[in-house]
């Protein structure tokens, strides 16, 4: 049997045992009730695209493979062969699986993770920013590769990847921590809250032709702005119970105000739920001591006094304006304003 068909065996401290290989290329030692420890090299490729958005590369397993067909997997990775170094294995797997030619100098060490008593994983990151080389792969094993924005990574990892990855919390935790340490993302230890003027968000995006995906918007708030809780202030209408359940399932905490119904000049039944007082009350009093920074989603100048209060007390994070022409009363906070138009590619359907 060729040595490339043998997996390197490791001691419990992670050191390779010279000349010791596991003889099966199909099964792991734990499936045989054995105590041998094998290793894998794992590579996550990332880039900042032309818009400056941080993205990660995922490969989709072919529908023809026997294990987890159609699910997404890490950029590249696999078992370390007998006598092979960790970086040699990482480079080889990148080339074999997606045709990416990298060297040991391209690899940025993230962490060593013991998955279980029979498996160690050495995790690396590779910066692919600005590289134009095309990926190539055997469609019997990989059907496509896909760049996923960092703001969508958590949801993507949880729902689109193969089941073992969905259950794996260690790798994602170490990867996210490494990104923070490298300064590639903001420190997620900060706990920020979002206070969202629901009607202003809905009408503002609609008038701009932005078909807002509320799930994506919630992920953007969490992953980009470290928003732990997102309070969505809306008028209550009993006929919209399913919509409210959708918001809750998408990660929002709803704050209601009884709606007022009226008929407009064209005879249309309209609903008005002015939530200004509720939003100010929760951000400036009820939740004030529970968050580091407030992310306020509105274009309404009626909240200018709230912005001034938050700014003066160093509690203002960002103001996300859903309308193209936000109130002039918000102009003093222009450095804190993020027009939703700027991030629409991340938050629209």
58 and 206 part of one domain? no
Are both 76 and 198 inside the same structural domain? no
For the domain that residue 42 is a member of, what is the CATH number?
Answer: 3.90.79.10
Question: Which three-class secondary structure state does DSSP give residue 336?
Answer: helix
Q: Is the pTM of this model over 0.85?
A: no
In 10 A of CB 162, how many CB atoms?
Answer: 17
76 by Cβ neighbours in 10 Å (0-12 / 13-18 / 19+) ranks as buried
Residues 177 and 212 in one domain: no
Instruction: Please tell me whether residues 171 and 267 are part of one structural domain.
Output: no
How many domains does the chain contain in total? 2
Query: Residue 28: what pLDDT?
Result: 65
How open is the CA angle 209-214-218, to the nearest 5 degrees?
125
* Domain final position from 124, 148, 181: 181
241 and 139 inside one domain: no
Digit-by-digit pLDDT tens for the chain (349 residues) are 344 567 778 788 778 787 666 665 545 656 655 677 888 899 999 999 988 889 999 999 999 988 899 999 999 998 888 889 999 999 999 999 999 999 999 999 999 988 667 778 899 999 999 998 899 998 889 999 999 999 889 889 989 999 989 888 889 889 988 998 888 886 655 589 999 999 999 999 999 999 999 999 999 998 889 898 999 999 888 888 899 999 999 999 999 887 666 666 676 665 555 688 899 999 999 999 889 899 999 999 999 999 999 999 999 999 999 987 889 999 999 999 999 999 988 898 8
Domain boundary among 147, 181, 215: 181
Q: Which domain, by its residues, includes 148?
A: 3-181
pLDDT at position 37: 80
As a whole number of angstroms, the distance between CA 139 and CA 64 comes to 9
Q: Tell whether 186 is covered by a domain.
A: no
Using the 3D structure, point to which of 162, 181, 200 is the last residue of a domain: 181
Residue 68 lies in a domain: yes
* One domain, residues 245 and 155: no
Q: Minimal CA–CA distance to 174: which of 214, 124, 215?
A: 124
**CATH code of 277's domain:** 3.40.50.1010
Same domain for 112 and 173: yes
Report the C-alpha gap between 157 and 127 in whole angstroms: 20
C-alpha span between 188 and 7 (Å, rounded): 37
Instruction: Give the pLDDT score at 3.
Output: 44
Q: Provide the β-strand partners of residue 60.
A: 72, 144
């Amino acid at each position: 049997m060729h040595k490339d068909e043998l997996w390197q065996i490791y001691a419990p401290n992670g050191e390779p045992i010279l000349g010791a290989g596991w003889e099966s290329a199909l099964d792991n030692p734990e499936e045989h009730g054995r105590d041998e420890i094998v290793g894998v090299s794992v590579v996550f490729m990332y880039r900042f695209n032309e818009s400056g958005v941080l993205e990660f590369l995922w490969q989709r397993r072919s529908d023809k493979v026997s294990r987890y067909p159609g699910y997404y997997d890490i950029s590249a990775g696999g078992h370390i062969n007998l006598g092979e170094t960790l970086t040699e294995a990482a480079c080889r797997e990148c080339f074999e699986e997606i045709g990416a030619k990298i060297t040991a100098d391209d690899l940025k060490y993230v962490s060593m993770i013991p998955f279980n008593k029979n498996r160690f994983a050495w995790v690396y990151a590779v910066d692919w920013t600005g590289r134009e080389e095309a990926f190539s792969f055997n469609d019997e094993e990989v059907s496509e590769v896909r760049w996923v924005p960092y703001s969508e990574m958590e949801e993507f990892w949880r729902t689109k990847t193969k089941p073992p990855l969905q259950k794996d919390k260690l790798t994602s935790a170490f990867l996210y921590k490494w990104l923070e340490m490298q300064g590639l993302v903001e420190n997620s230890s900060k706990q920020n809250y979002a206070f969202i003027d629901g009607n202003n968000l809905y009408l503002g995006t609609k008038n701009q032709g932005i078909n807002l995906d509320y799930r994506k918007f919630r992920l953007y708030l969490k992953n980009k702005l470290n928003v732990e809780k997102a309070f969505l202030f809306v008028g209550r209408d009993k006929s919209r119970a399913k919509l409210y359940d959708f918001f809750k399932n998408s990660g929002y905490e709803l704050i209601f105000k009884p709606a007022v119904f009226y008929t407009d000049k064209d005879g249309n039944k309209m609903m008005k739920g002015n939530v200004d007082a509720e939003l100010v009350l929760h951000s400036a009093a009820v939740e004030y001591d529970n968050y580091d920074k407030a992310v306020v989603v509105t274009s309404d100048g009626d909240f200018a006094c709230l912005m001034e209060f938050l700014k003066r007390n160093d509690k203002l994070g960002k103001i996300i304006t859903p309308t193209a022409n936000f109130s002039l009363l918000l102009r003093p906070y222009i450095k804190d304003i993020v027009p939703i138009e700027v991030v629409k590619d991340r938050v629209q359907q």
